[in-house]
Structure 1
Amino acid sequence: MATFSSMAIQRICDPMLPELSRIFNAPIGDVAQVVSMFAITYGLMQLVFGPIGDRWGKYKVVMLATLGCSIGCVLSSLSEGLDFLVMARVGTAVSAAAIIPLSMAWVGDQVHYEHRQETLARVGLGTMLGITAGQLFGGLLTDTLGWRWSFGMMAVLFCAVSVMLWRHAKRIEAPSEPYVPTHGFFGQLLQVARDPWARTLLSIALLEGASVFGMLAVTASHLHNTHQISLTLAGGTTALFGFGGMLYMATAKYTIRRFGEIGLARYGGGTLGLSFLVIAFTPWWPLAIPACFFAGFGFAMFHNTMQAKATQMVPTARGTSVTLFAGALFLGQSLGVLVLAKLMAYAQSAHVMAWDALGVTALAWYFGYALIHRNASQADHV
């Protein structure tokens, strides 16, 4: 519920931008700050919450962060001007940034590695649902009751989640050997940065965010411009990416046991790349419907494996590791959207998407290769 709420509040403003532009009598570019400033703050705060979670307790920080998000949503709903709304969104982002990465890190502390990927998949189901729900309810409530009710609903939801976390806190078992950080704030960041395997995973996460989410951001525009379908239909087709990810989360127990980590990385990346090649070159746009769905399924196979490895790359600084992983992924998303949008001004969108699809496939296979060598080196060490 916490990860669902965190992802929903990220996406809830996307469909309400035209209405906010009308209400505040401001250009859409200025109103878009409620999205862009949230994103920038969310990314920067990843550097802060990792060491805080390692030192003060990940579960406790997540619990307090949900309460902070509730306060931020209340302030957003009471905004009388655009500047106040932007600042309220920034305040919400400060708290929201802690929830998903520290939840993943907490799972890493609590769940043995052989069951961790399956557990992370369950947590990821909340994240995937949050993407869809945020956009759906942001638009629905704005069209019916008004944009303020969207933030009011989220304020109630965050408050309820905070209470649920507080009620469960006393029943949560601490790790059998709790780790007390011996490094300072920057020392924990350096501890992760000095680890070669951590640098490899963070680099892959950066490229993954750029290639996958950059391509996803331009898919609707490609379908609209190439096949002359409506933006609503193009956006709805692209949204099936999220439902494909949800199917993986629901079948993760079987899929993980069937393919293993290396198979999940390679076959997931291959499925993702092939699906986007179909979207890029299909002469019949309805083929993009199953392609978007299977692209989401393939991405979830690949990314869920990355998440599991991120929780284990530096166990003595797990909160810092996972938040840096999230920060690298988030930075990659921003860079990917910018680069692919620029490239499409000079080349056909199908060709840009095709090269990107081949790139993400190669990245997934390289990750599988890196896993083989990592496992072999650990076995030799033992």
Structure 2
Amino acid sequence: MNSSISANEASAPIIPAWRAVWSLGLGVFGLIIAEFLPASLLTPMAESLGVSEGVAGQSVTATALVALVTGLLITSATKSIDRRWVLMFFSVLQVISSLMVAFAPSLHVLLMGRLLLGVAIGGFWAMSTATAMRLVPASDVPKALAIIFSGVSIATVVAAPLGSYLGSLIGWRNVFLLCVIPSLLALLWQLRVLPSMRPENSGSLRTLVRVLRRPGMMGGLLATILIFSGHFAFFTYLRPFLETVGQANVETVSLILLGFGVANFVGTSIAGHLLARNLRLTLALVPLVMGILALLMVVFGHLALVDGLLVTLWGFAFGLVPVGWSTWLATTVTDEAESAGGLMVASIQLAIGAGAAGGGAVFDLNGASGVFTASGVLLVAAMVMVFAGVRVKPEAVE
């Protein structure tokens, strides 16, 4: 075993800090709610700001692009700062971001708020795996990551359907005001339970390059880009598709999004069992299934009942994605967790930005059906990339 891995294991606590782990789960719950809200409020946001839905969808792009850069630079930019304070700062940024969006008089101010959210999301995800490794013993790291990812799943259940439903009752701006609450609670909790965590490495850009050059790493990151591009092209423009093609009203859209969220939670909950049986096969089959579902939406999208079933299945499949690729990362790069996490975050956020931006362009030209067709093609290509260029066993580090 190399010295880097030994150092990481030595820093793991004997007694797990489960309250700290749960506080991070609440923090990520607040971040993901804020990130996902535009998908369920895109139509009223566009109408209020006087822009097209395609342009309003760029609020997702702005967040993703900043998260991309933050994921790459956060480790080196905060290399001398206690991780406790860095993690709490992300909750502060979410609160400021949501307030800016809620009171935004124009698209430009709204985008500025979404940029701050991008900093918080990119930074948190870059440090999440490494932080879990420092809060609990090595044997409990999978459980700690599952708790943190449960915040994502619950946010997925809550954000889309409640965002759509509450938006019709109290307006989209008030929904963003409510979004402040979980991050404020997380901040207070983290202030109480997060231990001091001094930086353990330099986090240099040279380290990022070394990690990127490891065998199989590039293939995994490319597959991740294809999967998340396909998903966010699909999800960002799901509501316009359901309203225009499926002729669904607000209540129906809310129910369909609720089905997506519940199924996503179920998928996340059983992901560990499937991944333990066959990691590579699971990583490959999930995007294939999602691609087929996207193409079926194009064919049968005029049937609201079928839409609900397909979107629910999509939610289940996507629930496997974050856990699957985090597991792949944990078994591939165990000695540079923050740097590898930064690369993964950059890949995912690049994909989100590409999916939202490309989806917006396709939407304005060919409608939501064109977006879903492109999404399906990207996801099938991801399946091919998993088989062709992804390694699932850790490489020896010199």
TM-score higher than 0.5:
yes
Aligned match of 2:92 in 50, 55, 67? Answer: 67
The residue that corresponds to 1:273 in the other structure is: 291
Aligned match of 1:262 in 261, 280, 289? Answer: 280
Matched, 1:103 2:123: no
The residue that corresponds to 2:224 in the other structure is: 205
Alignment of 1:107-256 (within 5 A): 107-109=132-134, 116-117=141-142, 119-138=144-163, 144=169, 149-170=174-195, 180-182=200-202, 184=204, 186-230=205-249, 233=252, 236-237=255-256, 240-256=259-275
SS across alignment from 1:45:
helix
Task: Check whether the contact 2:228–2:352 (CA below 8 A) recurs between aligned residues.
Answer: yes
For residue 104 of structure 1, what is the amino acid of its counterpart? Answer: T
Task: Check whether the contact 1:211–1:336 (CA below 8 A) recurs between aligned residues.
Answer: yes
Deviates more, 1:346-355 or 1:247-256: 346-355
TM-fit CA distance, 1:4:
0.6
For residue 105 of structure 1, what is the amino acid of its counterpart? Answer: A
What is the distance in 1 between the residues matched to 2:167 and 2:313? 31
> How has the CA–CA distance of structure 1 residues 218 and 199 changed in structure 2, closer, same or farther, with 3 Å as cutoff?
same
TM-fit CA distance, 1:245:
1.6
How many matched pairs?
A: 370
| CA-to-aligned-CA distance 1:124-172 (integer Å, 9 cap, x gap) | 22113223433455555555556664444333432221121222223x8
Give me the CA root mean square deviation. 4.1
TM-fit CA distance, 1:6:
0.4
SS across alignment from 1:214:
helix
Task: Check whether the contact 2:126–2:342 (CA below 8 A) recurs between aligned residues.
Answer: yes
TM-fit CA distance, 1:247:
0.7
TM-fit CA distance, 1:100:
3.3
For residue 279 of structure 1, what is the amino acid of its counterpart? Answer: M
Alignment of 1:12-31 (within 5 A): 12-13=37-38, 26-28=49-51
SS across alignment from 1:216:
helix
The residue that corresponds to 1:10 in the other structure is: 35
TM-fit CA distance, 1:53:
5.9
Deviates more, 1:346-355 or 1:291-300: 346-355
What is the distance in 2 between the residues matched to 1:346 and 1:15? 21
> How has the CA–CA distance of structure 1 residues 255 and 113 changed in structure 2, closer, same or farther, with 3 Å as cutoff?
farther
The residue that corresponds to 2:306 in the other structure is: 287
> How has the CA–CA distance of structure 1 residues 323 and 18 changed in structure 2, closer, same or farther, with 3 Å as cutoff?
same
Higher relative contact order (CA 8 A, sep 6+): 2
| CA-to-aligned-CA distance 1:187-208 (integer Å, 9 cap, x gap) | 2333333334332222121111
For residue 51 of structure 2, what is the amino acid of its counterpart? Answer: I
SS across alignment from 2:200:
coil
The residue that corresponds to 2:13 in the other structure is: none
What is the distance in 2 between the residues matched to 1:227 and 1:145? 25
Q: Which runs of 5+ in 2 are unaligned?
A: 1-25
What is the distance in 1 between the residues matched to 2:154 and 2:77? 28
Deviates more, 1:200-209 or 1:293-302: 293-302
Percent of aligned pairs sharing the same letter: 14
Q: Which runs of 5+ in 1 are unaligned?
A: none
